[in-house]
Structure 1
Amino acid sequence: MVRTSGKDADDASSRAADVERLVSDIDLAPYLGRVADPTATPLTDPVPVSADTPPLLALRDLVADPRFVDMFARALREADPDFRELFPRDASGVLGRFVRAMTWALETVENARGDEAKVAEVVEFARHLGADHRKLELSPRHHERFGEAMTDTLRHLAGRGWDDRLATTLGTTYRVLSTALQQGAAAAQGPARVGATVVEVLRPTRDVVVVRLISDVMVDYHPGQYLSVLTPYTPGVWRRLSPSIPANPAGQIEFHVRDVPGGALSGSLVRGVGVGDRWVLARPLGLLEVDRTEPVRDVLMVAGGTGIAPLRCLLLDMMRHGFNPRVHLFYGARHPGDLYDLPTLVDLAATAPWLTIQPVSEQDADPWWAGPRQELPRTLHRRQTGTLVDVVTGWGSWADRQVLVSGSPEMLRATVNGMVAVGTPRENIRYDRP
């Protein structure tokens, strides 16, 4: 038995007290599976709620408060342990989209002023969203806990301004939307999730990866659509990716992914993907397609970077037809060496007299740090230098074409606005938001 002196005992006691104080200062709740109740302490500056404000708009203002997303994320983690797996650690992106959807729904119902068609539009949107959310495999309990967490968060934000009027309105609204979400999920056809294995990884440029997979069962998507994808590189983060080849019975799928600075998934995916990795694929969505109704109009395609994937998928599908409208494809990137898919497009054009390829790069030469310059294949039209929108609109308004645009959000916004400004009818332009 080891004896300690009084001084040693005092030192040990002091060290234990220091450790206890240190631990008490650290929030271990997320790591221990418990999250402190975010609504336990009243706010010193709650959101003002006026009795003159319609309850739907008062709820909109509460949802739109900058503090809502962080408070709601903590409330969800407390409401049900499953939500810690369903949502990424940083849930701000997902819940930010929820705020935009909820804000739109509340405003639309308020502005409808009893118009059943307008209200039905919101309900139909919720059903459509529910079909997409099948991939999350939510149960009625999840919907109930989600509603409880939202109610607690909004009540906390409103402080003394919360009353029966807001509680009743929120309860009715959430019940209708939650029911529509569950109806949409129940009505959707096919498996909610499909597993897929990475079988090949290509790295055509420093920041782009081409991933080829084989799915456990065939995923039946239309050319131009995108799939929701869950990867092991960032748990809980679903990403929309567009296949670059049409669906086939062998289950072969190819995705193009660029490393976007600050992206929630792209960086870890581009750097970490390897053969043998398992991905999860979910319901196809999207509206990009070539309209073949009579009279068939010629097509203008505008692709920026990895936005070439869904358009190339459409081109490959068109190769199956005996007759096709003329297609003029502008394919752009920042540097010439970033036009990684140009060899494939040139091969397609060699056997498709209806297809014309126009390469575009913002810079005339590759930077020194990009490595050895790759010679680009020859095309009918020489590569042009400039932004995609400047080059495309420099050819005219394209008002007689059906226009398909694919790329980053910034590229989509600039291209669509620029084309409309030079006379392209807005209704002629189709694109999917990433």
Structure 2
Amino acid sequence: MTTLKGMGDLARLLKESWTLVEEHQDKVAGYFYARIFLSHPALRDLFPVHMDVQRSRLLNAIVTAVQTLDDPEKFDEYLKALGRDHKKFHVEPEHYEVVGGALIEAMRAHAGEEWGVEYDQAWADAYAVIASRMIAGADADTNPPYWYAEVVAHERRGRDLAVFTVQPMQQLEFRAGQYLSIECTKYQPRLWRTYSMANAPRRDNTLEFHVRSLGAGWVSSALVRRLQVGDMIKLAAPMGTMNLDRRSTRDAVFIAGGTGLAPVKSLLEELTRYNRTRWVHVFFGAKSRDDLYDLADLNRLAARYPWLSVVTACSEDPTFPGEQGNISDVVARYGPWNNHDFFVSGSGPMVKSTLKTLAEMQVPSVRIKYDSFTDMN
């Protein structure tokens, strides 16, 4: 296995050089893809017709890899998972060399005069490791590149929200709290977006998803407005580490914003199968009461399991009879939370503000797991 020599020094060079191009991320990404497609036109077919979101995904992956370099275990785990995930694009080992060259060229082109040969070398060294870990992750994975699944139920829960269930054609193993990428093959081919499962693994192998159509989101709009029972979609390998630790005896707090409720529902379903000793508090926030789309089912769970309590809040609905304000502020009004495990799921801004609140309440970061959905899905 390739190793990183002088890890601290390499991490410093990567972060230094990234600051030179950070403000020009869109230009870097545009140049990067232009280089790839000009030099290897056949690779264009691996990518979606609409490249806007794909650009941000590449840069998010690069930034995450660079930021986790100081934590070798997390770095390794992230890249192997990324490699497994890229099997769905039919990426071959030889493609990595093309991508690495284009990436360094794109950064050099937009970094200005401060870019030096040491930055070239740092990125070449780091990319060699990134590529080798991703290839190793893909090679070690015995799963298919993706699973076909049939839509067996589809229910609109509002103008821009749907809850639907699919039946994979082959066994798909995952853990409660994970997410995967979906391709809506019939309506938006080659466009993949990530969504969390809203259930724990079931004997019938079905998966439930909660999707809100976001602005110009190509995939989410198709999944909400066009998907029908009987349609086939593709599912990529499950990812994510927002899972329950069965060894923990601490009480738990789940904080969900909007469709961030999906992984929380997944974790709750797992808890219903074995929990007898842990109190579990769910805080579910939305802008208005109409956005509390799954409250009836949450309340049914709370009525059935004495260890579960549910608190709801609306930030822009003054007539709502429950709590008022952002869900992170509502959580702060309850407590104390000194000895609890936390699970946070929702939009990027919601997760960021909740993590800030928990830090102010001196909740140790090691007790917080979270999923942030920042992409325009």
Superposition TM-score tier, normalisation by shorter sequence = 0.7 to 0.9
In structure 2, what is the equivalent of residue 265 of structure 1? 219
Residue 222 of structure 1: CA displacement? 0.7
Q: Residues 196 and 263 of structure 2 are in contact (CA less than 8 Å); yes or no, is this contact kept in structure 1?
A: yes
Task: Between 230-239 and 275-284, report the one with greater CA deviation.
Answer: 230-239
Q: CA deviation at 1:122?
A: 4.7
- 1:350 matches 2:303: yes
In structure 2, which of residues 68, 79, 95 is the aligned counterpart of residue 126 of structure 1?
A: 79
- The within-5 A match list for 1:59-70 is 60=18, 64=22, 65-66=24-25, 67-70=27-30
CA distance in 1, matches of 2:241, 2:267: 12
CA deviation profile, 1:263-306 (whole Å, cap 9, x unmatched): 35323332222222221111111222333325x11111111111
* Distance in 2 between residues matched to 1:388 and 1:122, nearest whole Å: 31
Q: So what's the TM-score if we normalise by structure 2?
A: 0.83
The alignment partner of 1:138 has SS state of: coil
Which amino acid in structure 1 is aligned with residue 237 of structure 2?
R
Q: Secondary structure at the match of 2:198?
A: coil
Aligned equivalent of 2:326, options 384, 387, 394:
387
**Aligned mates of 1:90, 1:340 — CA distance in 2:** 30
Closer, same or farther: CA 58–393 of 1 in aligned 2, 3 Å? closer
1:417 aligns with 2:356: yes
Listed as ranges, the matches of 1:141-156 within 5 Å are 141-154=94-107, 156=109
Structure 2 letter corresponding to 1:74: A
1:24-44 deviation digits (Å, cap 9, x = unpaired): xxxxxxxxxxxxxxxxxxxxx
Shift of 1:164: 7.2
Q: After alignment, is 134-143 or 217-226 more displaced?
A: 134-143
Tell me how far apart the structure 1 counterparts of residues 368 and 115 of structure 2 sit (CA, whole Å): 45
The reply on whether 1:137 has 2:90 as its aligned counterpart is: yes
Residue in structure 2 matched with residue 313 of structure 1 by the alignment: 266
Letter paired with 1:360: A
Residue 87 (structure 1) aligns with:
47
Shift of the alpha carbon at 1:315?
1.3
Deviation at 1:124? Answer: 5.5
Residue 409 of structure 1 deviates from its aligned partner by: 1.1
1:181-226 alpha-carbon deviations (Å, 9 max, x no partner): 2111111232221111112210111211111111111211111111
Aligned residue in 2 for 1:196: 149
Counterpart position of 2:197:
243
CA contact (8 A) 1:60 1:107 kept: no
What whole-Å deviation, never above 9, does each CA across 1:292-330 have from its counterpart, x for those lacking one? 325x11111111111111111111122212624111111
Instruction: Return the offset for 1:362.
Output: 2.0
Deviations 1:96-130 (A, max 9, x none): 34335435656887xx7xxxxx6786555433421
Q: Name the amino acid aligned to 1:216.
A: M
After TM superposition, list the pairs within 5 Å mapping 1:140-219 onto structure 2.
Answer: 140-154=93-107, 156-157=109-110, 170-219=123-172
The equivalent residue for 1:274 is: 228
Identity %: 32
Paired residues of 2:313 and 2:325 also in contact (CA < 8 A): yes
Change over 3 Å in CA distance of 1:171–1:326 after alignment to 2: closer
Partner of 1:285: 239
Once residues 36 and 29 of structure 2 are traced to their aligned partners in structure 1, the CA distance between those partners, rounded to angstroms, is 10
| 1:255 counterpart residue number | 209
What is the deviation of 1:172? Answer: 4.2
Distance 1:58 1:322, change over 3 A: closer
Please tell me whether Structure 1 or Structure 2 has the larger radius of gyration of its CA atoms. Answer: 1
Give deviations 1:351-397, integer Å, cap 9, x for gaps.
2111111222224468xxxxxxxxx9xxxxx7222221222111134
Do structure 1's residue 399 and structure 2's residue 353 form an aligned pair?
A: no
Alignment correspondent of 1:339: 292
Specify the code of the residue in structure 2 equivalent to 1:404. Answer: F
AA matched with 1:126: L
Please report how far the alpha carbon of residue 253 of structure 1 lies from its aligned counterpart in structure 2 after TM superposition.
Answer: 0.9
Q: Residue 319 of structure 1 aligns to a residue in which SS?
A: helix
**2:5 matched residue in structure 1:** none
| Alignment CA distance shift 1:399-1:190 (3 Å) | same
| Amino acid in structure 2 at the alignment position of 1:88 | P
SS of 2:237's partner is strand
Cα distance in 2, alignment partners of residues 162 and 391 from structure 1:
47
Residue of 219, 224, 228 corresponding to 2:181: 228
- Whole-angstrom distance in 1 between the partners of 2:95 and 2:355: 39
The CA distance in 2 between the partners of 1:56 and 1:312, in whole Å, is 39
CA contact (8 A) 2:176 2:199 kept: yes
1:75 to 8, 28, 35: 35
How many residues get paired? 359
CA contact (8 A) 1:56 1:107 kept: no
Query: Which secondary structure state, in structure 1, belongs to the residue aligned with residue 309 of structure 2?
Result: strand
Contact 2:318–2:324 (Cα < 8 Å) also in 1: no
- Structure 1, residues 1-20: CA drift from partner, whole Å, max 9, x if none? xxxxxxxxxxxxxxxxxxxx
Is contact 2:188-2:222 (8 Å) kept? yes
Give, as a single letter, the amino acid of the residue that structure 1 aligns with 2:47. Answer: F
